[in-house]
Amino acid sequence: MAHLAEAIEEITKIARKHHFDYDQTRYVFKQVRKQLGLKPPRQRKGTVERLSTDEKNHFLEAAFRRSATTGLMMMTLYETAARVSEFVGIQADDVLFDALRITIRKGKGSKRREVPITKNLAYALQVHLGGRRRGYLFESNRHDRFTPRRMQQIVKEVAEQAEITKGVTPHILRHTRATLLAEGGMSKDLLQGFLGYEKLETTQIYTHTAALDLQRGFEEATGELG
């Protein structure tokens, strides 16, 4: 670990000398990884691909920089952890503001479920709708629903603007939300209902991913990396 500490000290001196800000340091390290031909480590067996908390935050920030509507759309997609096919079908009247829930009417297997949302998201959606209770929650310029393909494109474009090197898809956002909820202590049975899974065992992959991330964070904090 000593060589890493020395490298960090040298890099800090260079960044301080050139007055790099946060975005500039991220860009520099991205280019260094590119020139060295470094790629993200392969996904561990029994885990899901997901964004780190920082990557998730950068993704949402980039979405809001693009436009308020894009930001709210990505925020809703992430917070509900809806499958993209479910998300594009959400109607304006599916948002239950008093109950702080969104109804997913066309879930996998044509099953209906309700997912909880935060007060902040509920307020933002209320402002977005402006009293409108007909049509889709998010509509294209033609006042029709977005296609799953278009949603995938938007997610990819936002991820590129956020300078996230790993591939980002709506399903990666779903995995990220589920894993962070598991890290926060949500039980497997509650995750099952939230995500709309038929089998409880399916949610174990998120709790397993959360456990590995916790172990990794502990090892990094204590300097006991293997």
| DSSP string over 90-156 | -BGGGEETTTTEEEESS-GGG--EEEE--HHHHHHHHHHHTT--SSBSSB-TTSSBPPHHHHHHHHH
In a domain, 1, yes or no: no
Residue 201 is predicted with a pLDDT of 54
In a domain, 96, yes or no: yes
Lowest average pLDDT, out of 19-23, 49-53, 80-84, 164-168, goes to 19-23
The DSSP 8-state label assigned to residue 226 in this structure reads -
* Percent of the chain predicted with pLDDT > 70: 79
In a domain, 34, yes or no: no
State the distance between the two ends of the chain, measured CA to CA, in whole angstroms. Answer: 11
The DSSP 8-state label assigned to residue 21 in this structure reads -
Paired tokens of 33: 């990884």
Identity of residue 96:
L
Residue 129 is predicted with a pLDDT of 97
In a domain, 5, yes or no: no
Q: Please write the tens of the pLDDT for every residue from 100-148.
A: 999 998 766 668 888 889 999 999 999 999 999 999 999 998 889 999 9
Measure the CA–CA gap between 12 and 187, rounded to whole angstroms: 41
In a domain, 38, yes or no: no
In a domain, 23, yes or no: no
Q: Which domain CATH number covers 58? A: 1.10.443.10
- Number of structural domains (the chain) is 1
In a domain, 15, yes or no: no
Average pLDDT score over residue span 86-94: 96
pLDDT band at 178 (very low <50, low <70, confident <90, very high): confident
Domain, as residue range, for 87 = 48-222
Residue 123 is predicted with a pLDDT of 97
Paired tokens of 123: 């307020």
Q: Is the per-residue pLDDT at 220 higher than 60?
A: no
In a domain, 192, yes or no: yes
